[in-house]
Amino acid sequence: MKIQALAFVGIATVALVACGPSEAEIKAAKEKATADSLATIAATERTVAIDAAASTVNWKGTMLGIKSHNGTVALTDAKLTVKGPSVTAGSFAVDLSSIKPLDDAYAPDDAKQGTRSMLVGHLQSGDFFDVANHPNATFEITSVQGNTATGNLTVRGVTNEEKVTDIVVTDENGAISATGKLAFDRQKYGVAWSSGSKDAVLNDIIELEIALTGSIAQ
């Protein structure tokens, strides 16, 4: 009787092992679960909580044939919605009183003209962005097609439709980064300063490179 019982246990054990999933089946199930999870994420709109301190807005302006200046301006607010590798909605605002040049094309600080601080003062004056009356510039997306977002840019209280191009969204373990480029004609916003010299012409196009960084909002 004991021998029969042991034999039954042995047969049952073999049957259970034989009926259980193989290593290949377990691996395939895991891969399918991962693929399903990624597909769900790709099909779901997610709101990104932007870290303003970790995000950047870089600008560039060029005096044709002479030199260019570039620098940063502080992000004060931003919203972003993504779906897979694409941006679906968003906006950002910058503080124009925070304009900071990063290039070296300046006279020494004690010079009578051409210093870094003089450029900042000029950019913030009524000749350019009139920061005293219009301290912020904003952009809000109205539509997206591919890696280009169309939206409303407001500078000096004037709003025009512009495009953010070359948008790239990366997702690394929930850390989201979205980058893009925005080039606009300053004349459309009343930034009409001219040096008055045909040999020192400021390009009408101001270039921005935006990099928004954050994490999925809980």
Separation of alpha carbons 95 and 36, rounded Å: 42
**Domain parsing of the chain, residue ranges:** 2-41, 45-216
Please check the confidence at residue 186 and state whether its pLDDT lies above 50. yes
**pLDDT-based confidence at residue 16 (cuts at 50, 70, 90):** very low
**The CATH fold of domain 45-216:** Lipocalin (2.40.128)
Question: Measured between alpha carbons, how far is 81 from 67 in angstroms, rounded to an integer?
Answer: 37
Average pLDDT over every residue of 31-60: 79
Regarding predicted confidence, which is higher, 67 or 123?
123
**pLDDT above 70 coverage of the chain, percent:** 80
Question: CA 165 to CA 141: how far, in whole Å?
Answer: 12
pLDDT at 9: 46
Model-level pTM? 0.79
Nearest to 116 by CA among 125, 106, 103: 106
Closest CA to 51 of 215, 185, 202: 215
Question: Could you write out the three-class secondary structure of 14-63?
Answer: HHHHHHCCCHHHHHHHHHHHHHHHHHHHHCCEEEEEECHHHCEEEEEEEE
**Chain-centre distance for alpha carbon 37:** 25
Q: Are 151 and 93 in contact (CB under 8 A)?
A: no
Q: What is the pLDDT of residue 40?
A: 54
- C-alpha separations of 142 from 84, 103, 164 in Å: 19, 34, 11
pLDDT digit string (tens) for 129-149?
Answer: 999 999 999 999 999 999 999
pLDDT bin (cut points 50, 70, 90) of residue 71 is: very high
Neighbouring C-beta atoms of residue 194, cutoff 10 Å: 9
pLDDT at res. 29 = 65
